[in-house]
Amino acid sequence: MRRRKRWSVMGEFVQLTANGALLGFMYAILAMGFVLVFKGSGVINFSQGELVLLGAYVVSWVLATLGVPFWLGIPLAALVCAVAGVLIERFALRRLLNESMLALIMATIALGSIIRGLMSLIFGDRTRSMPEILPTGTYEVLGLRFSALMVWAAVIGLLLLGALAWFFSKTKLGLAMQAVADDRVAAQSLGMSLGVVNATAWAIAGAVAALAGFVWGSFLGVDGRLIALGALIFPVVILGGLESIPGAVIGGIVVGIVESLSAGYLDDVVGGGFSTVAPLLLLLVVLLVRPYGLFGRPEIERV
């Protein structure tokens, strides 16, 4: 009896941990766009949730309203959001390139409000459904049950990580973006165009936002609730490091596991909703112990 109970407790722990890891990949897809913007342009983007909402609406419009096939619709929606990212960088942020970080932050907050208002004006406030392209239901492996949607979201996250790793390590533009991230002044002195790098970073972030909108829109539906996902990005990117894409994946998995275990073990004890607070408590701990994240680099200033 005790042995069976012990296995039951262990099985519950493994199930919660695995579900949290899958949820973490969904968070990682959100965080990658944020990291790309900061890595390429040095901007802390407080409008990331609104960009994901934009991506979700565009994907839903292309697939459901226009009836474009999935294999063509997702790349087309990603292209539309990439163009939107370039336009945002060119007309909203490029003139503020040499301004203070506070000015850039306030600009992204204002940008988020504009995107939110435009989405409400164009698409209305009702919840739109994402076409059922990703499999639904559950998979069962070794007695553990997994949401099919979350499993495929993890697959998308891994493919996206691989594509970005190839881009940054094998292409001239990707290497230029890494050089700019390391030292913007030195990179500019070597002839690299900061405008091109910044625009590329926002373009890729826009495309990633379309994928994130597709995944989370399939999970939650397409409406203003997706904006709240922007707040969940910060524990992920602070834990992983603001400039690290692999760190975004590791941070997402850790945050997802913390949230899942908190929901399974602490919500009934502390009170419902503690699982939403747990990642923020983790954020505070990380800021106190290692403020530049697991894969971030400490800033050293010589006087």
Is residue 136 in a domain? yes
DSSP string, 231-298: HHHHHHHHHH-TT-HHHHHHHHHHHHHHHHHHHHHTHHHH-TTHHHHHHHHHHHHHHHH-TT-SS---
115 is written with which tokens?
């995107």
The residue among 276, 208, 287 whose CA lies nearest residue 34 is: 208
Residue 283 falls inside a structural domain: yes
**What's the average pLDDT block by block, 10 residues per block, for the chain (303 residues)?**
57 87 90 86 85 92 89 92 91 78 87 90 83 82 83 90 86 80 70 80 92 90 84 85 85 91 80 77 82 66 43
Let me know if residue 301 belongs to a domain: no
For residue 300, tell me if it sits in a domain: no
In a domain, 36, yes or no: yes
- The verdict on residue 282 lying in a domain is yes
How many independent structural domains does the chain possess? 1
Alpha carbon distance 303, 301 (integer Å): 6
Q: Does residue 174 sit within a domain?
A: yes
Phi, psi of 141 (to 5 degrees): -135, 120
Report pLDDT for 53. Answer: 92
pLDDT of residue 301: 46
The pLDDT, as a whole number, for residue 5 is: 53
3-state secondary structure (DSSP) of residue 131: coil
Residue 252: give the domain boundaries.
Answer: 2-289
In a domain, 175, yes or no: yes
Residue 140, helix vs strand vs coil: strand
* pLDDT reported for residue 143: 77
CATH number for position 278: 1.10.3470
> Other CB atoms closer than 10 Å to residue 170's CB: what's the count?
9
